[in-house]
A and B are shown apart, each in its own frame.
Chain A
Amino acid sequence: MTRSTIELPVTADDYRIARYAAAAIALTVAEAALPSPLPGIKPGLANIIVLVVLTRYGWHDAAWVSLLRVVAGSLVIGQFLAPGFFLALAGALCSLGVLALAQHLPPRFFGPVSASVLAAFAHIGGQIALARVWLVPHDGVFYLLPLFATAALVFGTINGLVAARLLAIPVAAPVTTPATPPSVKAAS
């Protein structure tokens, strides 16, 4: 009945991050429907979005999108605070750390594919490290490392190629139109 008196100031950056995070969450949910041969081996399609955001808007936005994706994606799937959530969080934090370094690679020689492969390895590294420390306190998890590393290489390359192809498209305009925030505000 009464209008909410709490007005949170929302900037254009927030809308942009929210849009990308929504796309990443959608990919996470779609990916959750795919059967996986081994727990932990996933294409990681949402990382395409993170790579695009990293290249277009920098690490800060990419970190927001990645972490929002982990939290909200797990809420949607129903895995929030389940072991899979913490594994995903560990992987996301590790890959963000690596991406923070990888974005300083000379862009003349290194494209999104390098960042994607490095981030994929960091992702799987963080997950295995957490699994070893917390979930499976036995060295047996390391016997699976070659399989995980292979998956990281393959999917990292594919995701990087997709991100590179998306970034090669000259139109960044539809997602950065400054006209959106007022219209959204009016609708809400």
Chain B
Amino acid sequence: MNERIPDPAPGRPKAGPSGPGAGDDREPPSPPFPERGLGGKHTDLLRELLAHATGDGHLPWRRLLKPGDWLLLVCAAALVAASYPLLWRGGVADRAIVRRDGQLVTELALNIPRKYAVAGAIGTTVIEVQPGRARVLSDPGPRQYCVQQGWLTRANAVAICAPNHVTLQLAGRSGQNGGYDTLNY
């Protein structure tokens, strides 16, 4: 807010706002520390930034864009738009995988509602499938963790009925996802 007077650049005051902001610019009458160069320059830079960001008499915004910029913006916008369904669909499950002792028992498509009973180590686990989701309907395990987990909807979600050695896992569209704990894109 000081050291404005010895500024040798003639362009800065001219480029500042010519309207109501110009009088505002000159308002602080006596700079208390006239030789604090760094602070003065620093605020000048910010002032320059703000004045030019809000001031008029500049090039219109679209003149600042070159052909390559437009191309890149369009490509980037298309990529961003494409990422929405891609990522959200990737999380959608389309089949349920039922295993006993780690061995595949069956794969159920998630488009028809049905129930499926698996004979496990201590009894029978009943899997229920509805369009887009699956759950463990009943299980002989003492604590009922996998039943209380409720509906599984996301790909790679798992319900484990450990006492009965049965697992229910959902798999997404790209089948190879199931074998990985984690994925990086």
Contacts and interface: CB of A to CB of B under 8 A. Distances in A.
A167 B167 CA distance: 61
B42 A187 contact: no
Interface string A80-106: 000000000000000000000000011
8 contacts: A23-B42, A110-B66, A146-B87, A153-B76, A169-B52, A174-B41, A175-B41, A187-B37
Interface in A92-131: 105-106, 108-114, 117-118, 121
B114 to A, nearest CB: 29
The majority secondary structure among interface residues of chain B is helix
B84 A22 contact: no
Nearest to A105: B68
B87 A143 contact: yes
A12 interface: no
Interface residues of A, number: 52
A177 interface: yes
A15 B41 CA distance: 10
Contacts of B8: 173, 177, 179
A41 interface: no
Contacts of B7: 174, 177
Interface of B: 7-9, 11-12, 15, 35-38, 41-42, 44-46, 48-49, 52-53, 58-59, 61, 64-69, 72-73, 76-77, 79-80, 83-84, 87-88, 91, 182-185
A71 interface: no
B80 A175 contact: no
A162 interface: yes
Contacts of A60: none
A26 interface: yes
A67 interface: no
Given A23-B45, A117-B76, A18 B68 contact: no
Contacts of A110: 66, 68-69, 72
A106 B68 contact: yes
B64 A113 contact: yes
Contacts of A117: 72-73, 76
Contacts of B77: 153
A57 interface: no
A19 B45 CA distance: 8
Contacts of B37: 180, 183-184, 187
A109 B69 CA distance: 7
A130 B44 CA distance: 36
Contacts of A166: 48-49, 52-53
A165 B73 contact: no
A137 interface: yes
Contact of A118 (B64, B72, B83): B72
Interface string A134-148: 000111001101100
Interface string A148-188: 01100100010011101110111101110101100110110
Contacts of A153: 73, 76-77, 80
B87 A145 contact: yes
A42 interface: no
B34 to A, nearest CB: 10
Given A22-B42, A180-B37, A174 B69 contact: no
A161 B73 CA distance: 12
A149 B83 contact: yes
Nearest to A112: B64
Contact of A26 (B46, B48, B69): B46
Counting chain A CB atoms within 10 Å of each CB, the highest count among B49, B64, B69 belongs to B69
